[in-house]
Structure 1
Amino acid sequence: MQTSLRYSGDSKALRIHAKEKFPIDSKTHLQDSYCLLREAFYYSTLISLLFHVQGELDTRTGVPNNFCAMIRHSYHDLFTSLGVGMRYDKRDKVRYTLRGKKSFLVTNDDSVNFVIKGRYDVDQEFKGRKSEGAAEFIYKIFNFQKDQDVRLKVGYEVFEQVPYLQIRENNWTLNADMNGRWNIRFDL
């Protein structure tokens, strides 16, 4: 299970996020994440269908912020993944989710990628809808210094029309956007 501590300028509370992926077959995973303010990342090159579960717990209130259960299918030959599932959010309650991601190699050594991704959520009555979509460039620098990997991500969220940035160094991640939102994550 992958776990992380998260803090953002919006909530001013430390969150614990957890994530787990369960393989279903060689191309399918069941991924579940529960945010007890922890998150984990597991990328498999062999297993492409999984069940994904993740969730988050607010340490200030002791109440779960969100929970998500999703089946994801990866098409490794096409650098593509698709997912369908449901999520619970303390504000939006239960929502059904459909998401997709496509990566394009910019360099032959996989150090620079262009990624497009999107998510579509609908409420239980299939009335309230929410869309997210982004395009981003990802630059990975392995062994930036001894035992230090760095990843820079610059993107644009299409529906909110806001640019964003992510800097990741080994276990630390900083996310920020042009609207002044930010968060920091430490992977345990």
Structure 2
Amino acid sequence: METSLRLNAEDRSLVMHAKENFVSDGNIALQVHAKLNTQTGKPSCLIQLKKKFFPEVLTSIDVGAKVDVESREVTYSIQGKKTWELTDNGLLCLDLKGAYNYQPHTQSGKPKASVELSQKVFNFTEDQDLKVKLGITSLRESLTCSCGENNWTLNAELRESGGKRVHWSIAYDL
């Protein structure tokens, strides 16, 4: 089980987050996300079931559905990712991601596409690795940046919609 403490610009409250993945031999994954807002004491849960396809090396396609337990809303999704290693050691990569989420209760869909450049630095300091990502999300017109080490991750997003705004979040993996 993966657990973390998270803080973001929108909520301004600390959230305890837990995630568990159950994967079958046929690449069917059940993923459960649970959150507890430490300020309000309000819990939330998201359950996702998806089938993973790997048509070739460094390529994945996921098809599935997720349910927000609190709102009882179902969302169907398809998403894909293609990775190109830009160096022989695989530490510098370019990711192309695309997704489409359909919500039957509103009969609306939401496309998403992004390109990310990531650099991994092993042993940045003694026993500490570093990963830096820069990206652009085309449909939301935003620039993204992520910097993480073994436990800490800082994410930032500069959005154009409604004027330029920076959204940030920080996570500490327990």
Q: How far off is 1:59 after superposition?
A: 2.7
Q: Secondary structure at the match of 1:78?
A: coil
Q: How far off is 1:91 after superposition?
A: 7.3
Distance in 2 between the 1:64 and 1:129 partners? 27
Runs of 4+ in 1 over 6 A off after TM superposition: none
Which residue pairs with 1:101 in the alignment? Answer: 81
Q: How far off is 1:180 after superposition?
A: 0.5
Is 1:32 the equivalent of 2:11? no
Structure 2 stretches lacking a partner, 5+ long = 159-164
Which residue pairs with 2:14 in the alignment? Answer: 14
Q: Secondary structure at the match of 1:137?
A: strand
Is 1:163 the equivalent of 2:143? yes
C-alpha contact 1:164 1:176 (8 A) present in aligned 2: yes
Show CA shifts across 1:58-113 (max 9, x none).
23333344513132425284201221222345679331222111111111101100
Structure 1 stretches lacking a partner, 5+ long = 37-56
Q: How far off is 1:177 after superposition?
A: 1.3
- Please tell me the residue identity of whatever aligns with 1:161: E
Give 2:166's match in structure 1, choosing from 180, 183, 186.
Answer: 180
The RMSD of aligned alpha carbons is 2.1
Distance in 1 between the 2:119 and 2:129 partners? 11
Which residue pairs with 2:161 in the alignment? Answer: none
- Please tell me the residue identity of whatever aligns with 1:63: K
Normalised by the length of structure 2, the TM-score is: 0.86
> Which protein has the larger Cα radius of gyration, Structure 1 or Structure 2?
2
